[in-house]
Every structure is written in C-alpha cells, then in structure tokens.
Amino acid sequence: MPLSKQRFARPPTPPDTDTTLRRSERFYKRKDIPLDLSDAFDWLRDDSSAVKIGDKCYTFENHPGLVYLPNYLNEHDQKRMIKLSLRDIPAPPNRNSLDAHYKIPTEGLWHHYAANTKTDVAVPRAATEPPREMPSYYAPSGERPLINNQPSTFEALKQIAREHNPEIPPSPTVKPLNGERAMYKLRWTNIGHYYHWGLKQYDFSVRDPQTAGPIAIPQPVAQVCKGAVEAIPWQRTCVAEAAEEWKKGYKPDAGIINYYNLNDTLMAHVDRSEVTSSLPLVSISLGHSAVFLIGDDERESISPPTPIVLRSGDVVVMSGPTRRSYHGVPRILERSLPPHLQNEQEDDEWEPFARYLSTARINVNVRQTGLSDQQIAELVSV
Ligand SMILES: O=C(O)CCC(=O)C(=O)O
C-alpha cells in the first residue's frame, strides 16, 4: 500500500548516504533535466535486461517471481477497467481516500465530474458531524505514530476483528469540493476486504451491508487478474514449483486502486499487510505511462533496482520472493496518454474519461490476503 505520495519533485541534491534505490528514485523524479529512460526496461525497445519467456511475457533475473505482461489488456478492456475504476468502484461498500474527511453523495462523485457541475458535492465531515474519539493509534498530540509494519498474521487479524477500531478522525481544515476537484483529490479506493488505513491492517469485522459477508473484489477485476496469472508460462520461471499451488488456489480478495496526477509519485515500499509472503499480486496500469522501480527486500540494498516503463494495458505480477521487494513509482510520463484513450467519436460516454485521463494514471493493484475460506469465515464472525 502506498506509504506516501508526493505532489512535487524534490530538489536534486542526493546526499552521500542515499541507497541505490533512493538514488534511482531521485534520478527519475528530476524535472530540471530531460528524462533519460535509457536504463529502463522498455519492451518496445526490446533491450536485454529482461528474460523473454513467452509472447509479450518477461521475467527478470534479479527479481525471482516478477513477471511483466506488456499490453496485456486490449484497448476495449482498458476502457472498461478505466470506467470501473473511476465511475463504478469508488462507491460503498468500497472505501476511498476522501471518505474519512468528506461526506460523499450517495450517487458518488463521477456523475458530478462528468456533468462539470460547479456546486460543492463533497462536504467536510468535521463541519457536520459530532467530534469523534481520538483513536489510540494516534499519539496524544494527534501526530501519526510509527505503525508496526510487520507482515500480518491470522492472530493479529483476529485481534483487530474483535476490537472496535475507530477511523482516522476527519480533518477540521478541509474545504468543500466540487466534482472536478474531488475527483482529482481522490488518491485511492480500496476493493475487496476492508483495509483500515489507521492500523495499516485488514479489518474483517467490516462487512458489505448488502450481503453481510466480506466485501468482494469486483468480478471483472478478479477475472482480469485470474486471466493474467493463468496466462503466465510459470514453468519457464524460477518459481515454477510454487506456482503450481498458486495457480490452483489463486483467489484475489483485496486491493487498491491508485489514482495519480502527473506530478504524483509513490515512494518505494513493501506491501506487507497480507498474511501471504509469496502469492501473486497483480498490478494493472491504465492511462499515462510511468516508471516502475523495483529493488529487492532490503531498503539499504546495494544492488541496483530495475526501472520498467509501464504503459496503459500493461500488467505486472509480483510473486514468490519478489512479493517482499521494495517498489514504487518515481515518475509519471508526461504526454504519454495513448490515442485510444483520448477523445473518440465512437464512444459517446468517453469524453469525461478522456478529460480525466488527460492528466492522470490509474493503477489497479490486486492482492490475495492468503487466508483460507475457513479463516476468513472465522474472522468475519468474531
Ligand atoms: O502504481 C503502480 O504501478 C504500483 C502501485 C503499488 O506499488 C501499490 O499500490 O502498492
């Protein structure tokens, strides 16, 4: 999950203590010099830093379990996934980054964005709701404490499901937003099992009010992820043995949709909230291209990380040892929106999506918590 997003590039003054990962991040973030992508893997240039294991399928020697499927989604499927990510998914029961601070209209934000309405639709909660208790994971000063960022365990999740876990209190300083401003302020939407952003853990006591069961991954998203995992010639990877099990039991049940503006970056991090340390994480890129940077499982590692140019429709699968690797997005590539996502005559609905995408990238990032159906049933019923 994202650790932090920075809206503006940092000044290019790398201290001597920078790790190779941090140095590389800084390199791709620099906006004072022309962007140099010559060291990044770009399948269209077909350079040799990757191992081709199938038609449009690559692995990387330094990253066992990392598989890259360029252009996996065709134009039609990219548009379908974009519509879902912007219009349909950021609504209850899925939580989004604005929910904690704003009351969002029941019809969602997209319709207001699409219709270009100028009235405020996202209303600050602090102004309209009674004050909430301060959660214990907040320091008394209101500052964020350090969260124990160890991989999750079934016992830890049971404890969380048993307790009352108050949400982050709404900010008293946020201002009302119209549809356009709200959509561009939206940073993420969670899908599948409820993710508690204060605790940085899944909270299985939160259920879908419609089904009274756990919140499910939207079917079309789950299908794309399953298709990608099945399409990989795992026997040609160095995680072939483990993959036999993953293929049988692959069942995505949690995730996040990340929304990036052109100046946004995602700092290197490891996704540790899932109990599993190796099951595939499927990451789908949509809209503007980006540089994806992946190192190994040590932040201080001296091995150089691998930069990969990701375009709309590309899928990255992180599995096996790579599931615990530091990774991030140091750069969104300006002027890289493909023509099929710009305004088109054939699709009457597309205009607001093209408008949004003209300054945006979307990443659909889908995980498997690694719990059995029985464990999940136990957590949901505690
Ligand atoms: O945007 C991306 O390509 C990666 C997102 C990511 O690393 C995450 O959500 O953990």
Residue 1, pLDDT score: 45
User: Would you state the structure tokens that stand for residue 207, as one six-digit string?
Assistant: 């259920």
Q: How far is the CA of 283 from the centre of ligand 1 (A)?
A: 7
Alpha carbon distances (Å) from 335 to 231, 330, 359:
31, 16, 9
**What pLDDT is stored for residue 144 in this prediction?**
43
**Can you give the pLDDT of all 382 residues of the chain as single tens digits?**
443 444 444 555 556 678 999 999 999 999 999 999 999 999 999 778 899 999 999 999 999 999 999 999 999 999 999 999 999 999 989 999 999 999 999 889 999 999 998 999 999 999 888 777 777 766 544 444 444 446 788 998 998 888 888 888 899 999 999 999 999 999 999 999 999 888 888 998 888 999 988 899 999 999 999 999 999 999 999 999 999 988 888 999 999 999 999 999 999 999 988 887 799 999 999 999 999 999 999 888 889 999 999 999 999 999 999 999 999 999 999 999 999 999 877 888 999 999 999 999 999 999 999 998 899 989 888 8
- Name the token pair of 364: 């659909």
Helix (H, G, I), strand (E, B), or coil: what is residue 189? strand
d(CA 10, CA 29): 7
**Domain residue ranges of the chain, discontinuous segments joined by +:** 5-97+217-381
Pocket test of ligand 1: the residue of 292, 306, 312, 322 to mutate, having most ligand atoms within 8 Å of its CB, is 292
Block residue for tokens 């540089």 = 291
Residue 21 contacts residue 293 (beta carbons within 8 Å): yes
Supply angle C-alpha 98, 141, 153, rounded to 5.
65
Helix or strand or coil: residue 337? coil
Q: Report how far ligand 1's centroid is from the alpha carbon of 267 (Å).
A: 9
Q: Known binding site: residues?
A: 269, 271, 327
CA pair distance 198, 139, nearest whole angstrom: 12
Binding residues for Fe cation, by number, are: 269, 271, 327
Cα(207) to ligand 1 centroid in Å equals 25
Pocket residue to mutate for ligand 1, from 191, 258, 281, 322, most atoms within 8 A of Cβ: 258
Q: What ranges make up the beta strands (E) of the chain?
A: 5-6, 51-54, 57-60, 63-69, 102-103, 120-124, 177-178, 188-192, 195-196, 201-202, 254-261, 265-269, 281-287, 290-294, 306-310, 315-318, 327-332, 360-367
Q: What is the pLDDT of residue 318?
A: 97
In this structure, whether the domain defined by 5-97+217-381 belongs to CATH 1.20.1250 is answered with no
Give the SS3 label for residue 374: helix
Q: 287 forms bridges with which residues in the sheet?
A: 361
Nearest-CA residue for atom 9 of ligand 1: 1
Ligand 1 contacts (CB < 6 A) are 1-2, 256, 258, 266, 271, 283, 285, 292, 327, 329, 363, 365
Ligand 1 atom closest to residue 188's alpha carbon, by position in its atom list: 9
Q: From ligand 1's centre to the CA of 56, what distance in Å? A: 21
Give distance in angstroms: CA of 381 to centre of ligand 1.
31
User: CA 98 to CA 349: how far, in whole Å?
Assistant: 25
Can you read off the two tokens belonging to residue 154? 């079934």
- Retrieve residue 334's tokens: 């300006």
Helix, strand or coil, per DSSP, at residue 73: coil
What DSSP string describes 109-139? SHHHHHTT--SEEEEEHHHHSPPPPPPTTS-
